[in-house]
Amino acid sequence: MPMFSKGIVLSQHKEPAFSKPVVRFVHPQTDSLKLDLKQIAVQTEQDAIIELARLARIVDERDGKLLYRKLRRSQGKAKIIIADAVDDEPYVSSRIGPLLQMGEEVADGLELCCTVAGCQEKRIMVYKMITDLETRISHSIQKIKVMRVRGGYPAYQQKRLSHLGDMPRLVVGVGALIHLARAVYQQKQQSTVFLTVAGNCVACPMNLEVSLGMTVMQVLERCGLTQQPTRVVCGGSMTGVSILDTENTLITHTTRAILAVRENQRDAHYTCIGCGRCEQVCPSGLNPMYIHRLVQTNYYAGLPLFDPQFCIGCGTCSYICPSKLEVATSVATAKAYALGQVPGGEEEDEAPEAGAASPSPAPSEPEPNPSREQSPDIPSLPEEEDDAQDDDLLKDLPNAE
C-alpha cells in the first residue's frame, strides 16, 4: 500500500511564458557593475573561482545560500555536479527557461564548478511532466546529459537521484551557474535574478531577468496588467507568499516568480467531509485531516502521534481538498508547535488565518520561500565553519532608484 504518495499531476500552464525569449529588465547602473580583479590574491584556479564567486556575491536561488560557500565545501569532495532546472510548480518556468535560452552560460558554469570540485560528472535536472510545451527539451544540452525527473508534484528530485546512492554531490541552481559564468568570464557582479511573471491579470506572461531591488510593481508594469489583481504572489503557485504592498516589496535572490491573479469570490465555506484525500496525496505520509482537526480545536496535546514536523510545505493537501480548506496552513502551525518554535500553542488561535508569512506594509522583502525544504534524503556535504565576516557582503546591495 503506498503510504508516501508519488504526488499529483498538475497541469502546468507554463506557456506562453516558456517559449518566449528571456527579456532583460535591468537597471543600467547596477547592470554595469564590474568586479575589481586586483582584490584577488590567490594561488590556484579553484581558489580564484571561489574568490570570484564571493566577490560577485552570487546567491544560489534554490536555497538562498551563498554560492562560494557551497563551492568551498564541495572542493575536492563532490563527485558529481547537478544543475537544478526543475520547475514543478504550475506557471513557473524561471529555471528551465534560462536553461534553454542561455545554455552555453549554464554549461560554462557547470564546467567551472567541476573545476572547483575536481570531478568530471555533470548533469542537468529537468522536470518531465510538462505536457503543454511548444518547445521540446532534448536529451543533452551543450553535450551535458539531461536527467528527467518524473512524477507528480512535488517532484522529488531525490527519488531520481537515489540511484546515485551516497555519492557526494553539489546541486546548484541554473541562475547561479549563469551568474558564475558571467563573473568569471565577464567580471560581472550578480545584480539580476531570473523570474517568471504570469497569471490571468498579466498581459504578456514571460520570463524576465530583473535587477535585484526592483519593486514588484515595476516588474508587473513591465509585463502589463490587463485587470486589477486580487492576489499577487511572490514565489511559486503552490508555495509562494501572497504580498499586500507591491510598491514596497522588492525582488530578492530567491524570488522565482511573480503571479498576479484575479479570481471570483469564493463559494460559501464547506466543512471537512472527511474524504481523506489529503492523506492520500501527502508525500511525507502524514494525515493532514486529523492534524487540521486538532489545530482547529486547539488540542495540541494529540499532535505528537501525527508527526507534523515532517511536513515539507508542498501544499498538496490544500490543493486537493474538495472543501477548499486551509489544511496546509494548519499543518504548518502544527509543525511550528512540534519543533518548539511556538511555545504552548496558545498564540496559534490567529495563526491559521494569518497565512504562511506576514509581511508588513513597510519596505520589506518577501522571505526566501521558507516553507519548501529539501527532503532529508540528500546526504549533505560535511558542514564547515562559515566565516563570520562574510555576512556583511549581502548588506549593501545596490537598490534601484
Partner 1 sequence: MQLKQYPAPHIRMSQTTRGVMADAIAALSFLYAMAFYYHGPRSLVLGLFSVFVCLLCDILCSAISKKRYNLRDFSAVVTGMILPLMMPASVEYRIVAVAGIFAIVVAKVPFGGVGHNVFNPAAAGFSFAAICFEDALFTYPPADLKLPLWQTAEFTLATSPAFVLQLGGTPGYDSMSMLLGKYPGPMGATNILVLIACLIYLVSRGTVRWSMPVSFFATVAVLAFAFPRSAAGGLASVGFELATGLLLFGGIFLLGDPVTTPKREMSKVAFGITSGVMVMLFRHFGNMEEGITFALLLMNAAVWGFDMVGERIARWMRRKKLGTLEGEKIPKKA
Specify the residue for cell string 564547515: 384
Residue 61 contacts residue 177 (beta carbons within 8 Å): no
Minimum CB distance to partner 1 smaller for 93 or for 239: 239
Minimum CB distance to partner 1 smaller for 254 or for 329: 329
Minimum CB distance to partner 1 smaller for 102 or for 312: 312
CA gap 242, 366 in Å, rounded: 9
CB of 131 vs partner 1, minimal distance in Å: 16
CB of 65 vs partner 1, minimal distance in Å: 17
Residue 85 contacts residue 217 (beta carbons within 8 Å): no
CB of 356 vs partner 1, minimal distance in Å: 5
Minimum CB distance to partner 1 smaller for 180 or for 241: 241
Residue 43 contacts residue 109 (beta carbons within 8 Å): no
In whole angstroms, how far apart are CA 391 and each of 387, 394, 396?
8, 6, 11
Minimum CB distance to partner 1 smaller for 191 or for 246: 246
CA gap 401, 391 in Å, rounded: 25
In whole angstroms, how far apart are CA 106 and each of 59, 134, 298, 380?
15, 22, 49, 23
CB of 238 vs partner 1, minimal distance in Å: 4
Q: Which three cell numbers stand for residue 59?
A: 546567491
CB of 243 vs partner 1, minimal distance in Å: 7
In whole angstroms, how far apart are CA 378 and each of 6, 117, 162?
18, 18, 9
Specify the residue for cell string 565576516: 389
Phi, psi values for residue 290, rounded to 5°: -70, -35
Q: Which three cell numbers stand for residue 257?
A: 516568480
CA gap 61, 332 in Å, rounded: 23
Report cis status (omega within 30 of 0) of the bond before 229. Answer: no
Minimum CB distance to partner 1 smaller for 11 or for 186: 11
CB of 298 vs partner 1, minimal distance in Å: 16
Closest CA to 150 of 122, 118, 125, 123: 125
Minimum CB distance to partner 1 smaller for 173 or for 313: 313
Instruction: Look at the alpha carbons of 149, 2, 62, 164 in this order and tell me if their dihedral is positive or negative.
Output: negative
Residue 106 contacts residue 28 (beta carbons within 8 Å): no
Minimum CB distance to partner 1 smaller for 215 or for 287: 287
Q: Which three cell numbers stand for residue 317?
A: 493537501
In whole angstroms, how far apart are CA 5 and each of 1, 59, 152, 156, 289?
10, 32, 9, 11, 15
CB of 71 vs partner 1, minimal distance in Å: 25
CB of 133 vs partner 1, minimal distance in Å: 19
CB of 1 vs partner 1, minimal distance in Å: 4
Minimum CB distance to partner 1 smaller for 120 or for 264: 264
The residue count for the chain: 401
